[in-house]
Each structure stands twice: as structure tokens, then as C-alpha cells.
Amino acid sequence: MSTIAKALKLLELFSETRPQLGLSDAQRLTGRDKATVHRHLVALEAAGFLEQDADSRAYRLGPALTRLAGMRARTVPEVEMIRAETDRLSRAAGELVHISRLHGFDLVDVYHAEHHDHPVRVSFDAYGLPPLLATSSGMAYLAFSSRHLLDMAVADQRTWVPGGQPPDPDSLRGDLAAIAQRGYARNRDSLRLGVSSVAIPLFDAAGRAVATCSIAYPTSRGGKQVEARLARLLMQSGAALSAAIGGTVPADLHAIWTPSHERAAS
Amino acid sequence: MSTIAKALKLLELFSETRPQLGLSDAQRLTGRDKATVHRHLVALEAAGFLEQDADSRAYRLGPALTRLAGMRARTVPEVEMIRAETDRLSRAAGELVHISRLHGFDLVDVYHAEHHDHPVRVSFDAYGLPPLLATSSGMAYLAFSSRHLLDMAVADQRTWVPGGQPPDPDSLRGDLAAIAQRGYARNRDSLRLGVSSVAIPLFDAAGRAVATCSIAYPTSRGGKQVEARLARLLMQSGAALSAAIGGTVPADLHAIWTPSHERAAS
DNA sequence: GTCCACAGGTTCACTATATGAACCAATAAA
DNA sequence: TTTATTGGTTCATATAGTGAACCTGTGGAC
């Protein structure tokens, strides 16, 4: 492993539950020699990627990160930022992955990736603009938005499931609560026969849902187990996808997405 | 120079005018061997600090920066973030450096640093809350805020220079325009006899002025040349101070703060 | 006070790791 | 076709990174 990789790995040690760490902490967590870790920390600090508390001598994430992240936000278009993670996710899932943004009550395609080797695939129309209440993306979005938005959506006939009953706000609220608890929304044949999907919301810097990511797959691919696998992949990418557009996942949802044993490991 | 430092220096090559660069670009800009630069780029990419465009093979700043900057914003308190840069500036200037935030029309102390070896020093009272229109900090703030705010400030008697004439909005507007053009505000004996200061605003992520940084020094220290030196130091720190709180300096002001030859060098 | 444990940090012989000249392959203009 | 780019790779060389042992300061425990 390159020295650079070792040093940068040190930055990954920081988290909400471990906002700063001393030399010995870093040494223990990495298993490397103290002198090595120390020189890495010093190098990172010299470059502004860490800063050291004058009193406690503990290290914390430095201002260079903020500066460079700002630079990235200004120079890299949003689509480019999520592209890499979306491609990765599509490759891992072997299915169609779709990033949508909400404009009014319409889901519009931001980017999609389709890396798979299944002979059977979901076909789709990027300009299809399916109704909000009929898609897993729309439901994922609503589940993490204000109640107010749901009421407005229900009042707007264009969001309804085409050809279906008028939506019942109470039962919808129950569905959304279930989604919020589960961490993702799902859809099985309800919009188009033979097409299933799972979806999660993407959040901005203020923690508001602003977009969605969904994986669509032929229902024929399988049942609960297929859904569970895709949902797991989706939720594992959730934090990175929001981070890519400069956002952060609310803590409670993050806890659902990241099983405790994974969080302990990081 | 450590390998880590060399690699991290690569990240500094990116700017608004140079949002992405190829292997050869990076090689030229650093003067290092192509193979070396390439392995550094690959290492940074593997850690997510860079990402490579699939088509052009050019590198741009990666998502790990956004993620870590978000982590920093969530875990490091604002005061801590500006402390390091403020201390540095105070040491370089050899004078009292003051970070203030505006609450209503009051400037309140966020942090101050006083690293100097002059026998004569400016004494100050952190709870003094000097009136907005009487301080370089206040004027620096207003010069980069909306006109509307000035009108409200002028209407509020508490912002006036104590014991002075009621402020004249037109002449004030002229003063503020001069500050905006110069890049910093200055004050010479107008609030307290024998005390001078220079000040600049700090900006948030949306580019709004939200705080100020000032250097106060005894007027007896000297005239234009002392002011020019301190102002230059102040403006050099401007970008880092705003970046420390997660903000960015508006492009036009950034151009004033950073002489063209310095920008070309970076 | 003394002792102990742990903290952050430094030294220096040793060797693993980074380096760079020369190389390949692809593309685009001349 | 030739030439000049580009991005990327190889491998002998030596530089830069490593880690056991060391120093120093601090905060208990007794």
C-alpha cells in the first residue's frame, strides 16, 4: 500500500462519534508504528488536511478540506459528481440505476446508468415523467419530506397512480411511515407490470430531500431476496450519493442505512 | 519533501480557471516525473480525493473531499475552525486580531488572538460592542452587504459614531463603495483616539457577508505603510478565513485580495 | 513528595518504497 | 506516412519511509 493511501486512510478515521483523535488513538486504530503515524499526521497537518488542537494536541479535520470541497462544488457540475457513484452502484447491482430530481411534482431524469449482463432488462423512457405517488422514487422522496408536501401532492391529480383509485391520505401516511422506518421505498408491478424498483432519497447540505436514486429490475428476477440485496446496495451508496452533491444524510436515517457493525468498523 | 506532501500539493493545482487537468498538465505544473505524478494521481483517485473523467481521462477533485468537509462542518465548532488561521494571522501581523459576528446590529466577539512582542498594545474589551458605523469591521461588513441593510443601520441610532454627527447616507455610500473597491475597511482614531484598525468581511457558503476579521493597532505604530502591510496580511488570509467557516469569497473581491501574479503562481 | 502509566514526540540504522529514464499504445494533426 | 501529442507502464536504482528504542511531560495513586 502506498504511503499516500496510508496517510489518506487516517482521514477516514474521523467520524461524528470520533471527531478528533490523538497520536495514540490513530496508532491503535491503524496498527501502524507510532513514528509512522506521527509523520503522516504532521504531513496532513502541514497541508491543512488536519489541524491540531493547541491544548489537547489532538488532531481534527482541517480547513483545506472545506476549501477544496468548495472548489469542487463550484467547478464540477452536479451530474458529474454523482456519475461515478451511480455507475459503481449500477455495476454492483447489475441493474438500471436512476437519479431523479423533483421539479414541482415531476421527477426528471438527472442521470442513469445501466451496467448489467442480464439478457432481460428493464426498458425505460427518460422523458416518461411517471407520477409521483406511483413510483418508489416519489414515495422515497415524500417519506422524508414535510407532511405539507404530501397534502399538496394528494391534491394534485397528476401525481396519482394512473387508472387507479384516488389516493387515501391516511393510508398513504402509513405507507410513508413504513418507508421512513425501513429506509427505502419499494414498488412491485404497481406502475408497470413486470417492473419492480427500490428507491432512496438524496439530501442537500441542509438535510432536505432534493433528489432520489432508484434501482429498477424485472419482477421476474426474483422476490424478497433480490429486493433485499438491491436495497442493501442502494442504502450502502446512500451516504456517498448525498455527499457527492454536497449534502448530508440525517442522522436517524443514516443509522438505518448503516448497520451498527459496519459503523463500528469504520 | 514527503511523498504525502507532494501528492497533496497536486490537489492545490485545481482552481476555478483550471477545474480539471490531465496527466501531462500535472506533470508540467509540478516539474516532477510523469510516472511519479501518475502514481500520485492514481493514489488520490483510489482514496476518492480525485476522480477521473471516463472519456477525457482528465482528473478533477473527488467526492471524498465533499464528504470529509461535511464531516468537519458537523464535528468542528465554528470557533475552532477559524482559531488556527486567526492565530496564524495574529502572529504574522504582531497585532490584535479579532473575529466578530453580527447579531442584529451588534458586533459580537467570536474569537480574538493577540500574539505580539510590541511593548505598546491595543487594549480592548471583548464585551464592548462598538457601534457598527464607527468600526472598520462594521464598515467592512456593510460594504459587502445589501443597500437595504445600510438604510436600516442608518435609521438605528445605536449604530452611529458616539458623540458624532448623524450619519449622512450619501457620503456613507461613497465610503462603502471605496471600501468595496479597496478590498478592506480602515479606521484611524475615529472610535478611540490612538487606535487604528483594518478589517475585511467573512463570507458564508452562499457568498453573503456573515462576520468580520479586523486587525487593531496603536496609531503610533506608523502611517500608511503599516496600514498597507497589515491590510495585505489581512487580505491574504481572507480566503482561508471564509473557507474555514465553510464559505467562499465572491470572485470579484477575491481578485482584489489576490494579486494577479500570486494567482498565476498557484 | 515518589512511583507508575500513558501521553506526544524524536532518533537513527535499515530496508521497503518511491522514483525516473526508457518504454509502449493510441490519437490527432502535418 | 511521419511527427507530436496524449495516457500509461516497466524495472533497476536509491531515496524516502519505517519502527524499535528513546526522551519528556503530565496526571493520577499512594
Whole-number Cα distances in Å, B218 to A231, B119, B136: 65, 11, 14
Residue B180 is predicted with a pLDDT of 94
pLDDT score recorded for residue A170: 86
The pLDDT of residue A243 is 87
DSSP B15: B
Predicted pLDDT at A23: 93
Which residue, among A1, A36, A65, would best test binding to B if mutated, counting the most B CBs under 10 Å from its CB?
A65
Place of cell 464607527: B134
A101 membership: H or E segment, kind and range: strand A96-103
Torsion of CA A206, A210, A211, A212, to 10 degrees: 70
- Domain B3-71: CATH architecture, name and number where available: Orthogonal Bundle (1.10)
Interface test with A, best of B3, B9, B66, B245 (most A CBs within 10 A): B66
pLDDT given at position B169: 78
C-alpha radius of gyration, chain B, whole number: 21
Task: Check CB contact of A75 with chain B, cutoff 8 Å.
Answer: yes
Q: Is B84 on the interface with A (CB under 8 A)?
A: yes
A5–B67 C-beta distance less than 8 A: no
CA of A35 to C1' of D23 (A): 14
Higher pLDDT, B184 or A163: B184
Region of poorest pLDDT, from A21-35, B158-172, B243-257:
B158-172
- Mean pLDDT over B78-82 rounds to 87
Least confident of A89-98, A124-133, A163-172, A203-212: A124-133
Beta carbon of A6 within 7 Å of strand D?
A: yes
Cβ distance B76 to A60 less than 8 Å, yes or no, reads yes
B-chain CB neighbours of A40 within 8 Å are 4
- The pLDDT of residue B261: 58
Q: What confidence tens digit (pLDDT) does each residue in B189-208 have?
A: 877 778 899 999 999 887 88
pLDDT at B178 over 80: yes
Q: Which residue is nearest to nucleotide C7 (CA to C1')?
A: A24
Strand D nucleotides where any atom sits below 7 Å of a protein CB: 5-11, 16-21
The 3-state DSSP composition of chain B as helix, strand, coil percent (nearest 5) reads 50, 20, 30
- Start-end of CATH 1.10.10.10 domains in chain A: 3-66
**Residue position matching grid coordinates 478540506:** A65
Q: Percentage of chain B with pLDDT > 70?
A: 91
Q: Indicate whether B120 pLDDT > 70.
A: no
CA gap A90, A96 in Å, rounded: 6
Band of pLDDT at residue A256, cut at 50, 70 and 90: very high
B67 in contact with A, Cβ within 8 Å: yes
Residue B133, min C-alpha distance to chain A (Å): 31
pLDDT for the residue numbered A260: 63
Q: Tell me, what's the pLDDT at A80?
A: 86
pLDDT of residue A200: 97
Q: Looking at residue B123, what is its pLDDT?
A: 65
Band of pLDDT at residue B264, cut at 50, 70 and 90: very low
User: How much is the mean pLDDT over chain B?
Assistant: 86
- Asked if the model's pLDDT at residue B252 lies above 80, the reply is yes
Query: Confidence class of residue A192 from pLDDT cuts 50, 70 and 90?
Result: confident
Q: How far apart, in whole angstroms, are the C-alpha atoms of residue A94 and residue B44? A: 27
Name the packing angle between helices A78-93 and A224-244 (round to 10°). 160
Which residues of chain B does CATH 3.30.450.40 include? 77-265
Mean pLDDT of A109-113: 88
* More confident: A166 or B43: B43
pLDDT score for A199:
96
Cβ B86 vs Cβ B213: under 8 Å: yes
Within residues 7-26 of protein chain A, the ones with CB less than 7 A from nucleic strand C are 22-25
Asked if B53 contacts B194 with a C-beta cutoff of 8 angstroms, the reply is no
Residues of chain B with CATH 1.10.10.10: 3-71
Which of A124-133, A174-183, A241-250, B87-96 has the weakest average pLDDT? A124-133
Cα separation of B66 and B96, whole Å?
A: 33
CATH number listed for the domain at residues A76-265: 3.30.450.40
Residues A187-207: what's their mean pLDDT? 87
Asked if residue A46 has pLDDT above 80, the reply is yes
The answer to whether the Cβ–Cβ distance between A66 and B72 falls below 8 Å is yes
Which is more confident, A117 or A83? A83
CATH architecture for the domain at B77-265: 2-Layer Sandwich (3.30)
Q: Please state whether strand D lies within 7 Å of residue B24 at its CB atom.
A: yes
In whole angstroms, how far apart are CA A244 and each of A42, A79, A105, A223?
28, 9, 24, 31
B240 touches chain A (CB under 8 A): yes
Asked whether strand C has any atom less than 7 Å from the CB of A55, the reply is no
Q: Taking 60 as the threshold, does the pLDDT of residue A266 lie above it?
A: no
pLDDT(A191) > 90: no
Q: Which B residues 25-44 touch A at CB under 8 Å?
A: 39-40, 43-44
Full DSSP string of A107-138: EEEEEEEE----SS-----TT----GGGSHHH
Res B265: pLDDT: 45
Give the pLDDT of residue B122: 66
Residue recorded with cell 414498488? A187
Check if A152 contacts B (Cβ < 8 Å): no
Fold of the domain built from segment(s) A3-66:
Arc Repressor Mutant, subunit A (1.10.10)
Q: Is pLDDT larger for residue B246 or for residue A48?
A: A48
Restricting to B residues 170-209, those with a Cβ less than 8 Å away from any Cβ of A are: 205
Q: Which residue is nearest to nucleotide D9 (CA to C1')?
A: B35
Per-residue pLDDT at A259 exceeds 50: yes
Report the pLDDT value the prediction gives residue B259, as an integer from 0 to 100: 76
